[in-house]
Chains A and B, each alone.
Chain A
């Protein structure tokens, strides 16, 4: 497999360093260079958002423990920031082999000897942090509120909400898990874990990447936010005080009825999505990147793309031009209590106005033909502060 071969060969293949213009050619477009790393400090925006989606991703959310106060949160954010900068550079968060005999390790060690694998960690602050507990009520990011109940929501409390979120992505599942584990570990006397989704394959493309597929077998993210000017328009916050340069994160755990879907004829699946399965072309076009024509009609006068097809309801042209950045991953939780494959989409979106997500999901939740095969079981919304400068930490302005 290309991943291993390239990793073994190190940089001899001459791939560009992080954030370079890595426009793919037919031969190398989905190769992974495990030696690559991304910078944490002094970046215009937080990591793990515009970063080309890595192969693996875990989202974990946390609640502040009972009785914790503002200074506990402050220390946590400062320690997390320092640790994240280390992890993203491929370094342990502290000693694996302690100098002292009686000491526990500061880093758990399972990523020792592994490459940085393009690790990014994105920290999100939930609406709950801005209640009375931590004295931060006046610092609430302007648009951060719990999401309203949306059509077809089937949310499970134990898989929703949270005071803090970590989105941890890399090209090596062990590097990813090591980062989540160590960040959770150093926070254990301040926060309690709430829910987590372990994604195993990207289901959204970033700039320059081939469009990957979700577990329904369809390409996902063909018309995603990709260009820098789109990021400025739809993702990054401007003139937002201390949040300027940051964004909002919406996480949804979307369960798929895999077996039922697999028993559906492909022509019906294509009708539901509004695209062909293999090529991913809109039903009105020939190739993936063809622009869908939502007014095209068949000879019998019916629309070629059903107005309640997934792409029709989600398309920017049908939603006052609104776009959201999707950065989702496929996930599996094994086998459910009914003996079915438990899997779906770890949907992650970044928006400079959560209302954009709400608008789209209201329409999708109400009428999407796909709803027969999916259900939204987990949900969370978080504000992602801008990235800190060297010598500072995430959210430092909250405590000024």
Chain B
């Protein structure tokens, strides 16, 4: 796929290694909203008294109404004592506000989405320590309002979600490195089969080697070999490993997996050139596996990576462009989904604390995609899935694509929920 300029260099991620360290959120909270550059921060003027406590939690009402100067987001109390605080959100008649969040230094601590006039009030409870927070109502005339909590830190630290997310990114890094290490073995097997000139064995090994890269490609794409310019595909590892007929750069020519695929499946022959492709693929895979061990990720990288893998599904696999000659697209499809699911799984413990509804929805939609893919499993095929032939595409592509779309939408919301402070 074309490389976007912002993703070109691994140094961006390497530089950020320590930025997301496990700093207590309570400490950050006490710093107030200095990092908030979104403008209009104001305190709720008519609501300065301390929120009453009921059922063990301070009760804060958030009412959304329409007004002459735009929709309003009003708090009945702008202060609470440290401890559990329940925010109950009622959208009376504010058509432009669909979401309310409680934020501390750009980190979302709790929120409600899908708000619309006429629906019943909904609430979320967070345990807050002393400090200044913001209530964020995107679409309101005043989007940010400060909310003050007095007293000490509560027993349950609110930094939990952030710590869980950071832990998740480390585990994901290890996962990605492991996948690429396994890929080295599989590509080694493919190269041996190609070298031996055994066409049937080479096809089998091709199918077995494909999924690894597809699981992590969005996390590692965009690497440029040392000494090459960013816009030169000769040094672009993603191009060299995974270029396709549909993104062929004539100046650089055929390389990698799909060059081998073309020879094995379309030409039906292993030539000296095929062997060269396989050797080169082996070397590039090794280089990628090596660099992957040095990478670190931010939570939003995982979220964006997962969304990127689903984009791959929609743009290349559904259309049958990825495996033009072998029709193994469903193998890649399943690997893309698995990679996205892994990234989500590592975010899940933290995300659940921030937005349980979104977490549940994404999990549910992943289940639906898994169930849809289940129908195409075929143990008699190398790779384990039916061939995505033009005939099967004609009957099944639309419904499969819609199932993935239903996952893509909630998944694309995750990045902003887990994004770390800049």
Question: B44 an interface residue at 8 Å Cβ cutoff?
Answer: no
Q: Across the interface, name the chain A residue whose C-beta is closest to B299.
A: A102
Question: A83 an interface residue at 8 Å Cβ cutoff?
Answer: yes
User: A189 contacts B410, CB within 8 Å?
Assistant: yes
- Known contacts A94-B139, A99-B138, A85 near B95 by CB under 8 Å: yes
Query: How near does chain A come to B69, taking the closest CB pair, in angstroms?
Result: 14
- Known contacts A104-B416, A391-B92, A189 near B116 by CB under 8 Å: no
Q: How far is the CA of A232 from the CA of B415 in the complex (A)?
A: 51
Question: B365 an interface residue at 8 Å Cβ cutoff?
Answer: yes
User: A103 contacts B415, CB within 8 Å?
Assistant: yes
Which of B177-185, B309-317, B330-338, B401-409 has 4 or more CB atoms under 8 Å from chain A?
Answer: B401-409
Contact among A94, A192, A396 with B98 in the assembled complex (CB-CB below 8 Å): A94
Query: How near does chain A come to B138, taking the closest CB pair, in angstroms?
Result: 6
Query: How near does chain A come to B93, taking the closest CB pair, in angstroms?
Result: 4
Question: A286 an interface residue at 8 Å Cβ cutoff?
Answer: no
- Known contacts A94-B139, A99-B143, A189-B409, A393 near B118 by CB under 8 Å: yes
Residues of B within 8 A of A95 (CB): 138-139
Query: How near does chain A come to B53, taking the closest CB pair, in angstroms?
Result: 30
Q: How far is the CA of A144 from the CA of B116 in the complex (A)?
A: 27
User: A102 contacts B304, CB within 8 Å?
Assistant: yes
User: B116 contacts A78, CB within 8 Å?
Assistant: yes
Question: B117 an interface residue at 8 Å Cβ cutoff?
Answer: yes
User: B38 contacts A81, CB within 8 Å?
Assistant: no
Query: How near does chain A come to B185, taking the closest CB pair, in angstroms?
Result: 35
User: A390 contacts B416, CB within 8 Å?
Assistant: no
Question: B412 an interface residue at 8 Å Cβ cutoff?
Answer: yes
Binding site for A on B (CB under 8 A): 38, 66, 91-93, 95-96, 98, 106, 114, 116-119, 138-139, 143, 300, 303-304, 361, 364-365, 368, 402, 405-410, 412-413, 415-416, 419, 422
Query: How near does chain B come to A384, taking the closest CB pair, in angstroms?
Result: 18
User: A106 contacts B138, CB within 8 Å?
Assistant: yes
User: A388 contacts B118, CB within 8 Å?
Assistant: yes
- Known contacts A83-B95, A91-B96, A102-B416, A390 near B368 by CB under 8 Å: no
Q: How far is the CA of A388 from the CA of B119 in the complex (A)?
A: 13
User: B416 contacts A391, CB within 8 Å?
Assistant: no
User: A189 contacts B416, CB within 8 Å?
Assistant: no
- Known contacts A95-B139, A100-B416, A65 near B406 by CB under 8 Å: yes
Known: A101-B422, A104-B415, A189-B361. 14 other contacts (CB 8 A): A75-B114, A75-B119, A79-B116, A95-B139, A100-B416, A102-B304, A102-B415, A188-B409, A388-B118, A390-B93, A390-B117, A391-B93, A391-B117, A396-B118
Residues of B within 8 A of A86 (CB): 95-96
Question: A238 an interface residue at 8 Å Cβ cutoff?
Answer: no
User: A103 contacts B416, CB within 8 Å?
Assistant: yes
Q: Across the interface, name the chain A residue whose C-beta is closest to B410.
A: A189
Q: Across the interface, name the chain A residue whose C-beta is closest to B406.
A: A189
Q: How far is the CA of A100 from the CA of B118 in the complex (A)?
A: 28
Question: A67 an interface residue at 8 Å Cβ cutoff?
Answer: yes
Q: How far is the CA of A390 from the CA of B117 in the complex (A)?
A: 8
Query: How near does chain A come to B16, taking the closest CB pair, in angstroms?
Result: 13
Contact flags (1/0) for A100-116 with B, using CB distance below 8 Å? 11111010000000000
Q: How far is the CA of A244 from the CA of B307 in the complex (A)?
A: 45
Q: How far is the CA of A204 from the CA of B363 in the complex (A)?
A: 47
Residues of A within 8 A of B419 (CB): 100-102
Q: How far is the CA of A101 from the CA of B114 in the complex (A)?
A: 21
Q: Across the interface, name the chain A residue whose C-beta is closest to B106.
A: A100
User: B98 contacts A99, CB within 8 Å?
Assistant: no
Question: A268 an interface residue at 8 Å Cβ cutoff?
Answer: no
Q: Across the interface, name the chain A residue whose C-beta is closest to B94.
A: A82
Can you spell out 24 A-B residue pairs with CB atoms less than 8 angstroms apart?
A65-B368, A66-B368, A67-B364, A75-B114, A75-B116, A78-B116, A78-B117, A81-B117, A82-B95, A86-B96, A94-B98, A95-B139, A100-B416, A102-B303, A102-B416, A102-B419, A103-B416, A104-B413, A188-B409, A189-B406, A390-B66, A390-B117, A393-B117, A393-B119
Q: How far is the CA of A66 from the CA of B422 in the complex (A)?
A: 40
Q: How far is the CA of A81 from the CA of B114 in the complex (A)?
A: 12
User: B38 contacts A99, CB within 8 Å?
Assistant: yes
Question: A98 an interface residue at 8 Å Cβ cutoff?
Answer: yes
Question: A185 an interface residue at 8 Å Cβ cutoff?
Answer: yes
User: A98 contacts B117, CB within 8 Å?
Assistant: no
Q: How far is the CA of A79 from the CA of B406 in the complex (A)?
A: 17
Q: How far is the CA of A393 from the CA of B115 in the complex (A)?
A: 12
Query: How near does chain B come to A181, taking the closest CB pair, in angstroms?
Result: 13
Q: How far is the CA of A81 from the CA of B419 in the complex (A)?
A: 31
Question: A29 an interface residue at 8 Å Cβ cutoff?
Answer: no
- Known contacts A94-B138, A106-B98, A67 near B368 by CB under 8 Å: yes
The 10 closest A-B pairs by CB, nearest first: A78-B116, A391-B93, A103-B416, A82-B95, A102-B415, A102-B419, A393-B118, A392-B118, A82-B116, A102-B416
Question: A74 an interface residue at 8 Å Cβ cutoff?
Answer: yes
Contact among B93, B300, B412 with A104 in the assembled complex (CB-CB below 8 Å): B412
Question: A367 an interface residue at 8 Å Cβ cutoff?
Answer: no
Q: Across the interface, name the chain A residue whose C-beta is closest to B415.
A: A102
Q: How far is the CA of A100 from the CA of B143 in the complex (A)?
A: 13
Question: A193 an interface residue at 8 Å Cβ cutoff?
Answer: yes
Query: How near does chain A come to B399, taking the closest CB pair, in angstroms?
Result: 8
Q: Across the interface, name the chain B residue whose C-beta is closest to A79.
A: B116
Residues of A within 8 A of B422 (CB): 101
Query: How near does chain B come to A284, taking the closest CB pair, in angstroms?
Result: 50
User: A98 contacts B368, CB within 8 Å?
Assistant: no
Q: Across the interface, name the chain A residue whose C-beta is closest to B66.
A: A390
Residues of B within 8 A of A81 (CB): 95, 116-118
Residues of A within 8 A of B92 (CB): 391
Residues of A within 8 A of B98 (CB): 79, 82, 94, 106
Q: How far is the CA of A42 from the CA of B161 in the complex (A)?
A: 44
Q: How far is the CA of A188 from the CA of B117 in the complex (A)?
A: 20
Query: How near does chain B come to A399, taking the closest CB pair, in angstroms?
Result: 9
Query: How near does chain A come to B33, taking the closest CB pair, in angstroms?
Result: 13
Query: How near does chain B come to A92, taking the closest CB pair, in angstroms?
Result: 9
User: B118 contacts A78, CB within 8 Å?
Assistant: yes
- Known contacts A94-B138, A95-B138, A98-B416, A82 near B117 by CB under 8 Å: yes
User: B409 contacts A391, CB within 8 Å?
Assistant: no
Query: How near does chain A come to B414, taking the closest CB pair, in angstroms?
Result: 9
Residues of A within 8 A of B407 (CB): 189
Residues of B within 8 A of A67 (CB): 364, 368
Query: How near does chain A come to B306, taking the closest CB pair, in angstroms?
Result: 13
Q: How far is the CA of A78 from the CA of B361 in the complex (A)?
A: 18
Q: How far is the CA of A104 from the CA of B139 in the complex (A)?
A: 14
User: B416 contacts A94, CB within 8 Å?
Assistant: no
Query: How near does chain B come to A47, taking the closest CB pair, in angstroms?
Result: 14
